[in-house]
Structure 1
Amino acid sequence: MTTTKSNAMLGASSTDPIAMMRSVFAFVVVAFAFTQCVPAIAQSDVGSGKRRGVLIEFKEDINPLSGALLKRKFEAAVESDADVIILDIQSPGGSTSVTLELMDMVLEAKDVETVAYIEKDAYSGAAMLAISTDTILMRPDARMGDAGEIVEGADGAYRYTSAKRRSALAQKVRDTAEATGRPLALAEKMTDKDMVVYQATNKESGEKRYLSDKDLASREDADQWELSPPIREAGKEMFFTVNGRRGVELGMVDQTIESRDDLAKVLNLQEPIVEMERSWTDTLVFLLNSQFVTFLLLLIGLVTLAIELSAPGIGIGGLTSVLCFGLFFWARFLGGTSGWLEVVLFLMGILFIAAEVFVIPGFGVAGISGLALSLGALVMASRRFALPENEIQWTSLATDMMTVMGAFLGFLVCLAVMAKYLGDIPGLSRLTLRPQVMVAADGGASATLVSGPAWQRVEVGDTGSAMSPLRPSGKVQFGDDAVDVVTEGDYIDPGTEVRVVGKQGARVTVRKV
């Protein structure tokens, strides 16, 4: 059995602008994947009357990221006009919500035959995905089944989900089996350990079918069916699990084959079969979605953003920050957990913080709101559910929050170091703009160029003259230096004498003399 979890988030309306933007983005992604697949298909053996097949490997647990990548490949295969799409499945299962989405994706595929090829094991959600295909091919000793849904309790022990959730899952499996022509009772038995399945024979017509004790209890003609002993793999206190040979005998599997090399012959496909392998894009997306890399992206992005805000202008800090956050959201887009809403909220948060730094003195509503929006957007970008509904989702949410908050705390530490040593650390000091100032040496006999940010040479108590209107930000002349300053909120005319009353890093606060 494999831990599964649910998804409480519903899809956006098709008339929602954000949903439309997401659709455009999805189209671009599918088009990119399609361009990778088409050249290989074009090289296939054509003109032989055989069908064109595309094989997609799925050999990992079912989670939002792996599900999104499988969807991208499947959509690309459908767009390529392939006749047969083969899912090479080897998975322990995983998220229930993602599994249901993948099942619907396969069931709704039009004008294409879907095939599940199981070489080793397909358990839990992977077995449910397999029965949603038109054809199941297995090696004789491969295994499929065991799709009971469990959750982890507060004490760390795993328990079965509520009867309501189990009933909904069982009905989904029955509907899927009916759509693909497989025994309903055996399919349901994969999700229900309490029921017992028999092979039943109608006493009048001789018809044979698989019926469970629940089926018989609900039938008016139950007495017309003669029951065999319970199916060995479908007895009490067990989830239905079969190997390839037994699956063929029971009608759950269409055929056994010895290896993947037999797929073309059995399915009448052109050779070689086009294989959509994991691309460098997929590998990069998996890497960028890992917890450690996410932490680094956020930490570096926040630190370089602070550097850019301390010395405005598109420099190394700004470009690095854009790259880090761009990679973060790009990976979440392709991973299926982020949309344009999260990006918009994050950008709004950055604008609020910038307004607090350059326009509104102090640290008030704008700064707090911007911080909340930015951090909230980063957490939302990793979630597929609106609100957590079970222990697994709460644990997942806590992990994502710890990653984001850990990066933010690391940023605060770096900020404290930067505020004190930025101008003295070799290399790092070059990230800020430094005006060159003429300073006389040896009694004025010669002059040398001395570089350094002007705000570092300004101290509390220094006086200067406003070069521009201060409302409340502007420039003040302190000797030979022109320094960006802010007032305490007052408007000050050009030419007015001001005094420095506060200094925090590159932020210089002045007051009218």
Structure 2
Amino acid sequence: MGERRQWLAVSLLLFVVVCCFLVPASAVHSNEEQGDGPLVYYIPVEQTVERGLEAFMKRSFETAIAEGATHLVLEMDTPGGAVDAAGDIATLIQETDIPVITFVRSKAISAGAYIALNTDQIIMTPRATMGSAKVIDGAGNAAEEKTQSYWLAEMRGAAELNGRDPVYAAAMADERIDLPELGAPAGELLTLTADQALEIDYAEAIVTSREELLAHLGLEDAVEREMEITFAEQLARFVTHPIVIPILLSVGSLGLVLELYSPGFGIPGIMGISALLLFFFGHMFAGFAGLEALILFIVGFILILVEIFVPGFGIFGLLGVGALIGGMLLASFSTTLMLISLAIAFVVTAIAALFIFRYFGQRGPMKRVIHTDSTSTEKGYISNVTRSELIGAKGETLTPLRPSGSAIFGKERLDVVTEGSYIGQGKQVEIVYTAGSRIVVREVKE
């Protein structure tokens, strides 16, 4: 029954994951059933800018254009994020024929500022801010000079694209530019308030609501529709975050390692497979994984299950892990990021497994994970029957006992051993101890 419950749990988990990713990709909310006016689509640009957001925006743009939208409004509140994802989003905006407007509700920082500069208009709420777009690496330090130079050129180009003074865009990414009149002297990055942005023509208007936004655009009679991010898309954005990827891979690999050291299929295996499924299907939903990656993942998954249930000296396990890694590399949007994530997962798994086996392998819940049973005499396991009835029997040695040899007891010849001393041939001995095939004798002194 226990094994059946475990398989039921695994099946249920797989069903839930698949259902999550089969949720319809489009989720559109409209505040009007019908209308003859222009069609305005609101697209949320929130949280971190990453590949998941890029995939969502591509889907949103395609849906809006297919529905006949005349204007796209990016409702922005982001602290920034990945430069490469922001670059692809900017390209998406530039290739769109209909007007794209950024409505900064709270903040458009770093990559958010860059995306906003690529749109036709920037409209802000009174308390909104925009700027501070310096490129940093994964450790929080300034990126190398080559990357900085590229990013400065991109910021300047985005500003010039819509007739904005590029010096302010450059000051957002380069603290060496001195703009004390805007609160950004040399040594500080430029971050604009709504009033400052309006003053230097980096914002076309300051409004407090969508109604005022539409009034400024002359779209009072517009039909409004809002793109809503689905649960599956939210999950995909979370799973494809650069920080989350190595965590999922670490959990997945550690779970599989522990499962290989435990009988049957249990919690570690479910934990490992779940983490890998979240990683893989999140990347599939975001549009980064193709059919070849899916095939490799399935093959790797099957091989690992074969190794768990039909031990093959690690061959199936190694092939399965290799297939999984190949599928992950194909599914990833960045091979470099994936290799780094895999390296982190390998180190974390090695350290965690060593710690668990060393300090928890013989106690607590780990007893159910690591097989520690052994065959011993105390548990009734013996190689030969112990002849306890021989204790006390007396006989004569047939050979010298140095300390082992042969002796005869009545009509039975036995192989015996002394307690450590030498006993010569033809001496009288007595059996004092028996355990399995071991018969211990002691010389009888007359």
Question: Which letter does structure 2 place at the counterpart of 1:98?
Answer: A
1:266 and 2:216 are equivalent in the alignment: yes
Instruction: Give RMSD over aligned pairs.
Output: 4.6
Q: 1:162 aligns with which of 134, 144, 149?
A: 144
Are 2:246 and 1:246 aligned?
Answer: no
Deviations, residues 76-113 of structure 1 (Å, cap 9, x unaligned):
22332211111111111111111111111111112x11
Kindly tell me: are residues 271 and 406 of structure 1, through their superposed partners in 2, closer, same or farther at Cα, counting changes over 3 Å?
farther
Q: What SS does the corresponding residue of 1:161 show, helix, strand or coil?
A: coil
Q: Report if the CA contact (8 A) 2:122-2:204 is conserved.
A: yes
1:368 pairs with one of 318, 324, 344: 318
Summarize deviations over 1:125-167 as a string: whole Å, max 9, x none: 11111111111001233211111112355xxxx4322222111
SS at match of 2:38: coil
Partners of 1:165 and 1:377 in 2: how far apart? 29
Contact conserved, 1:189 with 1:195, CA < 8 A, in 2?
yes
Q: Among residues 329, 351, 372, which one is paired with 1:380 in the alignment? A: 329
CA contact (8 A) 1:55 1:86 kept: yes
Look up the SS of the partner of 1:190 in the other structure: helix
Taking the aligned partners of 1:298 and 1:152, their CA distance within structure 2 comes to 23
Q: Which amino acid aligns with 2:175?
A: K
Secondary structure of the structure 2 residue equivalent to 1:78: helix
- In the alignment, the residues of structure 2 paired with residue 398 and residue 354 of structure 1 have an alpha-carbon distance, to the nearest angstrom, of 24
- Please give the alpha-carbon distance, in whole angstroms, between the structure 1 residues aligned to 2:192 and 2:148: 21
* 1:116 counterpart (88, 92, 102): 102
Q: Larger deviation: 412-421 or 91-100?
A: 412-421
The aligned residue for residue 387 of structure 2 is none
Q: Distance in 2 between matches of 1:295 and 1:350?
A: 16
Structure 1 residue 380: Cα displacement: 3.3
Q: What do residues 194-246 of structure 1 show as CA deviations (whole Å, max 9, x unaligned)?
A: 2346xxxxxxxxxxxxxxxxxxxxxxxxxxxxxxxx75356422322211122
Conserved in 1, the CA contact under 8 Å of 2:50 and 2:237?
Answer: no
Equivalent position of 2:89 in the other structure: 102
TM-score (ref. length: structure 2): 0.61
Q: Larger C-alpha radius of gyration, 1 or 2?
A: 2
CA drift at 1:303: 9.0
Letter in 1 for 2:99: E
Report the Cα offset of residue 319 of structure 1. 12
- Aligned-partner Cα distance in 2 for 1:76–1:243: 33
> What secondary structure does 2:336 align onto?
coil
Greater CA deviation, 324-333 or 296-305?
296-305
- Residue type of the partner of 2:55? A
Tell me how far 1:266 sits from its aligned partner.
Answer: 2.0
Structure 2: distance between partners of 1:326 and 1:161: 33
Q: Is the 8 A contact 1:51 1:83 kept in 2?
A: yes
Q: Percent identity?
A: 21
Structure 1 distance, partners of 2:115, 2:49, is 10
Contact 2:79 2:109 in 1 (8 A): yes
Indicate whether 1:87 and 2:69 are aligned. Answer: no
5+ residue gaps in structure 1? Answer: 1-28, 198-229, 312-317, 422-513
3-state DSSP of counterpart to 1:56:
strand
1:288 touches 1:331 (CA, 8 Å); kept in 2?
yes
Unaligned runs of 5+ in 2: 1-20, 373-446
Residue aligned with 2:123, SS: strand
Once the two structures are superposed, what CA deviation does each residue of 1:252-278 show, in whole Å capped at 9, x if it has no partner?
A: 111111233322222215456212223
TM-score by length of 1: 0.54
